[in-house]
Amino acid sequence: MKANKVIVVGAGIGGIATAIRLAVKGFDVEVHEKNEVAGGKMYLIEKDGFRFDAGPSLFTQPDNVEELFSLAGEDIRSYFNYMAVPIACRYFFENGKQLNAYTDQQAFAAEMEHKVGEPKENIVRYLQDAEQVYEKVGTIFLNHSLHLTSTWLHRRVMDAMRTVKLPYLFNTLDGFNRSRLQTPEAVQVFNRFATYNGSNPFSAPGMLSLIPHLEQNQGTFYPHGGLISIPRALVALAEKKGVRFVLNSHVQQIVSDKSKATGIIANGGFIPAAHVISNVDAYYTYKNLLLDETGASKILRSERSSSALIFYWGIKRNFPELHLHNIFFSQSYRDEFYCLFHQKKFHDDPTIYVNISSKMEAGQAPEGKENWFVMVNAPAMVGADWERETAVLRKRVISKLNRMLKADVENDIEVEEVLTPEGIQARTDSYLGSLYGTSSNSKWAAFLRHANFTSRIKGLYFTGGSVHPGGGIPLCLKSAGIVSDLIGNPV
């Protein structure tokens, strides 16, 4: 076995990025993916001229992608291009109010004051505080392992600790927002950011108030070709640097000998490696690849994140009142999240997210038509009748959109595909379809999330959305950097 041989199990965005970083360092990297295409939750559905990004739909912090091309000495423009989007999201409330979340801070503050009556200074102060917390705290703990003593000895940690005031830790995000904002609409907008890691704003800590900084201060972006262009560009870069992708590869086991990872068993054969990196859900890794029931049960002690039920609708006309990202809020956010996390069921009045990439780029839908990615937060639950749940939810979603848009949405649907939590689990091995592994529904959640390594098996590492620092494109890319630093350079 070569001392520099690395196997990555799973070609999600975190796995691909880790492979690039290690290949640039000089490692011999091989990525095994069970599906027919790399990208994990990021893949493409095409039907009758409509194109749908099946997974993530929001692109922030493009510098994480740019860094990979810089490390590889390649011009990103030869692989990938993107543009800034001036409106991060368009919000619709049941009381008839609407507002644009401009990525210009002053414009957003003015919009909030004009449309919902929230004083401009509250919004500016909130976003400035979010920036400070992110720069002093987030940049340390999102880019380094929380499970290494060296992280806590970092020279900036003491400064970070002074920034973390008690309300960030001992207040919920909802409580924090209600203490900083006056109007229910503003509170609901900023509560929404808990869903960025599949959490409940009425349980998750106030520290999540730093998340809006990524979208509102740093900006929202659209990649040309849709979100699928990100994994495609990174796969091309990885292959340029010598990474080998083995698709349709069913990995049955991660093999270790005397507490040292030695390789994998894939498609019935043993493949040796000096280092193994799992880009698969941490629970699945322990239960099915390490055959470690005890380790798997420890992961389940933390509450699972929410999942999603997604309708991909080809719409036969244009809706000028909609933008790239749109949110139709529930009348009662608290009741909705109580249903999702405590009763493990859908609320009668769900919040609906609609993404329409054809608003940004021709070719995403036939001319005069739109491609709607319609997502509702779903509970992580066992034994659901998803055919029944989907039918019931579809009626509720269409009824709500009809009412709030004053339209006949069902009559406008000419193409339809559906993805349930069951389908997410089947494709990505994410237990119960949880999009982010564990939720952040406690003040200790960040510390309970699985580390990027294990002291029990030397040479085994973890990357992706179910481990530190969390889910979503930016954090998965950051996990790749952490793993690359942990492994170091080839011997």
Helix/strand/coil (H, E, C) string of the chain?
CCCCEEEEECCCHHHHHHHHHHHHHCCEEEEECCCCCCCCCCCEEEECCEEEECCCCCECCCHHHHHHHHHHCCCHHHCCCEEEECEEEEEECCCCCEEEEECCHHHHHHHHHHHHCCCHHHHHHHHHHHHHHHHHHHHHHCCCCCCCHHHHCCCCHHHHHHHCCHHHHHCEHHHHHHHHCCCHHHHHHHHHHHHHHCCCCCCCEHHHHHHHHHHHHCCEEEECCCCCHHHHHHHHHHHHCCCEEECCCCEEEEEECCCEEEEEEECCEEEECCEEEECCCHHHHHHHHCCCHHHHHHHCCCCECCEEEEEEEEECCCCCCCCCEEEECCCCHHHHHHHHHHHCCCCCCCCEEEECHHHCCCCCCCCCCEEEEEEEEECCCCCCCHHHHHHHHHHHHHHHHHHHHCCCHHHHEEEEEEECHHHHHHHHCCHHHCCCCECCCCCCHHHHCECCECCCCECEEECCCCECCCCCHHHHHHHHHHHHHHHCCCC
Residue 315 pLDDT > 90: yes
**Mean of the pLDDT values across residues 4-25?**
98
- AA identity, residue 78: S
pLDDT band at 167 (very low <50, low <70, confident <90, very high): low
Residue 405 pLDDT > 90: yes
pLDDT band at 336 (very low <50, low <70, confident <90, very high): very high
**Mean of the pLDDT values across residues 314-322?**
98
Radius of gyration of the chain (CA): 22
**Mean of the pLDDT values across residues 337-342?**
96
Separation CA 15–CA 243 (nearest Å): 11
Q: Are 328 and 404 in contact (CB under 8 A)?
A: yes
- Residue 251's CB: how many other CB atoms inside 10 A? 24
Percent of the chain scoring above 90 in pLDDT: 87
Identify the CA nearest to 38 among candidates 58, 18, 67, 57. Answer: 18
List, in order, residues 6 or more apart from 264 with CB less than 8 Å away: 7, 9, 32, 251, 253, 254, 255, 270, 271, 273, 276, 289
Residue 160 pLDDT > 70: no
pLDDT the model gives residue 443: 76
Residue 1 pLDDT > 90: no
pLDDT the model gives residue 164: 60
**Mean of the pLDDT values across residues 188-206?**
95
pLDDT tens per residue, range 101-155: 999 999 999 999 999 999 999 999 999 999 998 888 878 888 888 788 777 676 6
- Residue 271's CB: how many other CB atoms inside 10 A? 20
**Mean of the pLDDT values across residues 355-379?**
97
Residue 469 pLDDT > 90: yes
pLDDT the model gives residue 16: 98
